[in-house]
Structure 1
């Protein structure tokens, strides 16, 4: 970032070298609205915008006439206010991102004109927005500076209580703005970008915005919401950007767009949250509620709820990059059964094709001579098969000519048609065009053939990026890039549910609405303590962005420093296993050996923890049901249960696992960590020790066989009382409940089969 002395220009990416901007870009600022009227069930205001001088300071260019644009207000129920403005562009009423719940009905708004303010009210007479038309109070004693420029002053009350103020006067003096109420950037005389700013309180905290690999409170950060290959979990790049944030002031903001965005969370100005969207439309849903869970619930009412994944998906998944043959897979699966490691899914990554990484959606006929028999044999042994693939087509792929001739894939502007390699969509000739219904059906048919063999899950890898130098049937590439993951995962999910009977994918990328198509995992984490910590941070923020089900590669995807060949330490393998057991889904995957018998010094501990995972499945299923009807994810940031506890807005290395478990993974080789216990009475899950919450446990020690996990006193935990090889052997009617009370002496003593 190149920092100048003009914070708002920096936020807008506006070049203050005016020789580069002359006649190209201008900033227009919103002024006081001049008219208000009924518009269907909503209200519309006429807002004039004043062009600013092309200078290094803000000042109105009075030589250019103001331009009027229409600002629309609509209410969805009594907790959501939609604020929209299209600068000569149509606002989307229907989009893939929205799946508005039937019970979330639009209600009628009206308005009342008062002397110095306009009030927008709902049918109950509750004020939902105020537009202040008064002038700032001035005690004039100096004329050294010009008077404040006219500015739109608005307060939005999505629930009639929570005030969300537009930042009307975030400035040092009138010509030096830190943020601007509502503005747009004009390029070549056409509106191109829109910005809005909301007032931020000094101690206000922010979470969400997708998969953030950083601290819990996002205040003081700026993010570019542009999906990219994250290349790990320890940087600002991310696979899943979600244009939604949640404030500690108990409101949520969803920016309904697929365009590239920028969110400044009280960063460029500590007084303002600033949004910049790279299209001439602003369409936001403001949510006011009593607590974070209810805000998340309202957000999911707008963008959709997930369905509960099938029982088998909660068992252990085994994978590595990659298995190459039927014989290799059978040997691994047979050995895990022989050595009493329960497992449900075997995943074949990039090596099941004729050529590694060359995705053609067909098994190698030499190494997998009879795929249907292969899949059937595994199913008889209690294993289901998951397959890797990607949405990019290589020039030497079998389907290339068909896809090109029928325009099922993007058509590159350049004539260069690349072959396939790995780790980048740009190494491929084109991207499947999911904006084209015929291409969607063609892709589904590729998967249908595999699913009819008995395959149960498709790993919808990649999808964070597309070929931007290409043409797509129904969308500009800049608007498709972020949305692509949703269209891609929807197609795979639908055909899987149709053929296999269970709706499930294993997905990496994400945008608003993708939570409808579980399961998502956290990408290519380093097999290190840093990778483990970054994974958890990303999962917590994703859970605060509407996603209910989430996983990660145990014990990290790639080695450090040798990407493919570094040895995974025993203690990291165990500690990451424990973290995986207390996650909605658990999958082992990486660039080298991941099967537990390759780690003989710890394999007995791993086996014990896998059996604990299967014992916990009734509880996990119970909590999974909740995420389909509430705002809760399975893996929850502490703030969802303790929003009034300021400490919980900062903790990113602990979490609730469902309603009852408090989990604090060990993420070092010292077997100790500091643990924060919120208010309540907690029982150690492994020792039965009871402790009063509202305190820190400093340097808490946990031997390798145990993990810092507490359960709410009095909780009833449904558990499975028998050892199984896989979920096919489970009869959930046998489920028992363990009461966490003074008689509870630790889980190992209650489950004698482990």
Structure 2
């Protein structure tokens, strides 16, 4: 949200009070408390009728500084995110001298200069990386006629747009020359956020819009630090877009709290960020296989499902999970968690028959209860649905007629909802697609009194947690997996997430990748998308290119809206493309599983933007049409009908994984590929553990294992290969003995 009119003035109707000096700095145990008047105090009379900002610095975890800015410290604050890694009492060393106040925590130092002008700086290993200077920390008031650029934030027609607020606290952190900003959730525009206005407010807007399903108020800087705004409500960013030398973030109300997170590398930042907000867990090896779906509005029954599964097997196209989308339940009844008896008269038998074919089963759910469902009356009578301020059940007709919203702030409502899921698990369902969770209204009351503005983004966290906890309880750690659409900060601890509703075009394929790269830089280790696009039906070229892209990620799903997504529906070459890349992914499973263990221990994502893996290469900062899959495999999807693709290889000798061709990096390349290939290059000196099976992802990776050694390395490499059952072996490999 923009408050200023150029460098010198404010917009009409805007009043701003800025921290002008650090009048005094007090050490309180491991924290610093700063009184920051909004005018330089030159005489005793200046302290009268003068608002101040109270700025508190502390450390919740080593290498992280918490900054809390409060106008009125007694003002209501709806609270921040759940931070499982925070340490009570702080871990920083605070001191105050004549030179000012210093808070030291690990490699990160926060330094507040005494007096005027206001100057708060952040240093990593003694080098300043950013700071808060003049007119940075501000308390902003808008009068009724204020002319600020608010626009519509969120789904206006869905009644889930952000509220119009009158008072805000904002902070501005310096943006250095050449500094690039990434993250802020799964956003489908340019990967580099410089120059953008970003509104953190979950919305169901598709991948071709400025809206996002997964808004995360965390950004990562190319200068080796990250910033999390600890507010689940509406956070508005101006990233070098209002004040071009600064990153501004503002929240409504009296309090703003944020964390500065030290690197110095981007991976170090993500390691600390996920230690604070939650690490991604290990997900089951079977979930890495191909997921095949009924699609959304297609006609299907058990015979249809069986025909798809059997034909995939006949064509040697391994499928691990079959997904039933919405119409496994009867129309107008979503969600009642009952199989539609007209098309699935024997669900228990059908699930058993699918399991006999060595498949897992996923079913679609959402947190809404349609009024025709028998569960609506049951939930309403028990107080399990979100209510309006007058005590009536909140309902609307968007999506499902008369639907209500489960109130997950009510422990009894959560247990009731989970009971319905346990019945499905007992029946044979293995996992759930947790759809929706973004269109969350504001004119409501929650059971626990939560602020509706806070709950709008946070609702998805409670929803996904309720489902994830059931799966962990029923199947154990390491076996629980969701297929979730919405999220916010901390959602990475309940994987997997997919990219939402894309269109069936090359352009949408590219924007989908941008969303995944942005999400990866927001702490999410696992990610998927609808192969071929969701809306519309792709032509054969798009489907085949998207298939190769989709199978070179952590999780892969064929899914669409109104058409089946079995490959033979497009052409026979699509069948061959599916066969080649599913088999390749199965052979890569020892490598991918090792990357997942790294994600669980360090928070490093499987799909990695080039800037994450090569932070010292200035050529990679803006690259958003290629990525690293794990540490060693570069993937450049083909986004053109011609098969032409431009991509960049960092320094060294790179080897094409499929052909063995060796090329020198440190330059851009243009290649043309047929549908059975794409730029797929292995990092110089890499050792890739290569599995022996092509028919499934969950096998013994140690049996028949090959270690493929690629050119460009020297010395000895240590490779640890872990099987899904936890058995591990360590191999020492001479990199000079290239096998390719």
TM-score bin, normalised by smaller chain: 0.7 to 0.9
Determine the C-alpha separation between the residues in 1 that align with 2:76 and 2:269.
Answer: 24
The counterpart of 2:138, out of the listed 170, 182, 185, is: 182
Aligned partner of 1:227 in structure 2 is 202
| Partner SS, residue 113 of structure 2 | strand
The counterpart of 2:320, out of the listed 335, 338, 344, is: 344
Q: TM-score, normalised by structure 2?
A: 0.86
| Partner SS, residue 71 of structure 1 | strand
1:162–1:251 Cα contact (<8 Å) kept: no
Question: What is the CA distance between 1:34 and its match in structure 2?
Answer: 2.2
Aligned partner of 1:445 in structure 2 is 419
Distance 1:282 1:261, change over 3 A: same
Determine the C-alpha separation between the residues in 1 that align with 2:125 and 2:464.
Answer: 33
The counterpart of 1:259, out of the listed 233, 252, 260, is: 233
2:652–2:712 Cα contact (<8 Å) kept: no
Aligned partner of 1:72 in structure 2 is 56
Determine the C-alpha separation between the residues in 2 that align with 1:218 and 1:323.
Answer: 42
In the alignment, structure 1 residue 492 sits paired with structure 2 residue 467:
yes
Aligned partner of 1:85 in structure 2 is 69
Question: What is the CA distance between 1:553 and its match in structure 2?
Answer: 0.4
Distance 1:310 1:90, change over 3 A: farther
The counterpart of 1:714, out of the listed 670, 681, 685, is: 685
Determine the C-alpha separation between the residues in 2 that align with 1:8 and 1:246.
Answer: 29
Distance 1:112 1:125, change over 3 A: farther
1:451–1:500 Cα contact (<8 Å) kept: no
The equivalences for 1:170-209 within 5 A come to: 180-185=136-141, 192-209=167-184
2:63–2:108 Cα contact (<8 Å) kept: no
Deviations 1:614-633 (A, max 9, x none): 12222111111111112420
Deviations 1:539-587 (A, max 9, x none): 001000000000000011111xxxxxxx421111111111111110000
In the alignment, structure 1 residue 237 sits paired with structure 2 residue 211:
yes
Deviations 1:251-282 (A, max 9, x none): 11011111101111111111111011123221
The counterpart of 2:30, out of the listed 41, 66, 78, is: 41
Determine the C-alpha separation between the residues in 2 that align with 1:654 and 1:126.
Answer: 32
Distance 1:95 1:205, change over 3 A: closer
1:676–1:697 Cα contact (<8 Å) kept: yes
Distance 1:296 1:723, change over 3 A: closer
1:635–1:658 Cα contact (<8 Å) kept: yes
Question: What is the CA distance between 1:208 and its match in structure 2?
Answer: 0.5
Aligned partner of 1:113 in structure 2 is 97
1:716–1:737 Cα contact (<8 Å) kept: no
User: Which range moves more in the overlay, 125-134 or 413-422?
Assistant: 413-422
Aligned partner of 2:283 in structure 1 is 309
Determine the C-alpha separation between the residues in 2 that align with 1:657 and 1:522.
Answer: 17
Gaps of 5+ in 1: 19-24, 52-60, 135-150, 170-179, 560-566, 745-749
Aligned partner of 2:493 in structure 1 is 516
Instruction: Give RMSD over aligned pairs.
Output: 3.0
Question: What is the CA distance between 1:410 and its match in structure 2?
Answer: 0.9
1:101–1:304 Cα contact (<8 Å) kept: no
| Partner SS, residue 507 of structure 1 | coil
In the alignment, structure 1 residue 432 sits paired with structure 2 residue 403:
no
2:19–2:52 Cα contact (<8 Å) kept: no
2:78–2:454 Cα contact (<8 Å) kept: no
Aligned length: 682
Gaps of 5+ in 2: 145-164, 714-738
Aligned partner of 1:731 in structure 2 is 700
Determine the C-alpha separation between the residues in 1 that align with 2:96 and 2:2.
Answer: 46
User: Which range moves more in the overlay, 69-78 or 669-678?
Assistant: 69-78
Determine the C-alpha separation between the residues in 2 that align with 1:166 and 1:575.
Answer: 46
1:212–1:238 Cα contact (<8 Å) kept: yes
Q: TM-score, normalised by structure 1?
A: 0.85
Determine the C-alpha separation between the residues in 1 that align with 2:680 and 2:36.
Answer: 55
Distance 1:477 1:8, change over 3 A: farther
Deviations 1:237-262 (A, max 9, x none): 11011101011121110111111011
Question: What is the CA distance between 1:635 and its match in structure 2?
Answer: 0.3
| Partner SS, residue 733 of structure 1 | coil
Question: What is the CA distance between 1:356 and its match in structure 2?
Answer: 6.2
Deviations 1:445-481 (A, max 9, x none): 1111111112111111011121222211221211100
Question: What is the CA distance between 1:734 and its match in structure 2?
Answer: 1.6
The counterpart of 1:538, out of the listed 515, 524, 527, is: 515
1:317–1:346 Cα contact (<8 Å) kept: yes
Aligned partner of 2:572 in structure 1 is 601
The counterpart of 1:298, out of the listed 264, 269, 272, is: 272
2:168–2:253 Cα contact (<8 Å) kept: yes
Determine the C-alpha separation between the residues in 1 that align with 2:604 and 2:366.
Answer: 30
User: Which range moves more in the overlay, 327-336 or 546-555?
Assistant: 327-336
Distance 1:486 1:3, change over 3 A: closer
The counterpart of 2:85, out of the listed 96, 100, 103, is: 100
Aligned partner of 1:57 in structure 2 is none
Distance 1:374 1:123, change over 3 A: closer
| Partner SS, residue 441 of structure 2 | coil
The counterpart of 2:104, out of the listed 106, 112, 122, is: 122
Deviations 1:655-693 (A, max 9, x none): 000011000000110101111001222101122111121
1:158–1:287 Cα contact (<8 Å) kept: no
1:28–1:186 Cα contact (<8 Å) kept: no
The counterpart of 1:552, out of the listed 499, 506, 529, is: 529
User: Which range moves more in the overlay, 68-77 or 300-309?
Assistant: 68-77
Question: What is the CA distance between 1:411 and its match in structure 2?
Answer: 1.1
Determine the C-alpha separation between the residues in 1 that align with 2:662 and 2:49.
Answer: 71
Deviations 1:588-630 (A, max 9, x none): 1001110112123321232222222212222111111111112
Aligned partner of 1:682 in structure 2 is 654
Aligned partner of 1:275 in structure 2 is 249
Determine the C-alpha separation between the residues in 2 that align with 1:548 and 1:162.
Answer: 29
Determine the C-alpha separation between the residues in 2 that align with 1:640 and 1:394.
Answer: 44
Determine the C-alpha separation between the residues in 2 that align with 1:91 and 1:688.
Answer: 62
Question: What is the CA distance between 1:91 and its match in structure 2?
Answer: 9.1
Question: What is the CA distance between 1:500 and its match in structure 2?
Answer: 3.1
2:461–2:491 Cα contact (<8 Å) kept: yes
Distance 1:42 1:101, change over 3 A: closer
The counterpart of 1:332, out of the listed 308, 332, 346, is: 308
| Partner SS, residue 214 of structure 1 | coil
The counterpart of 2:639, out of the listed 637, 657, 667, is: 667
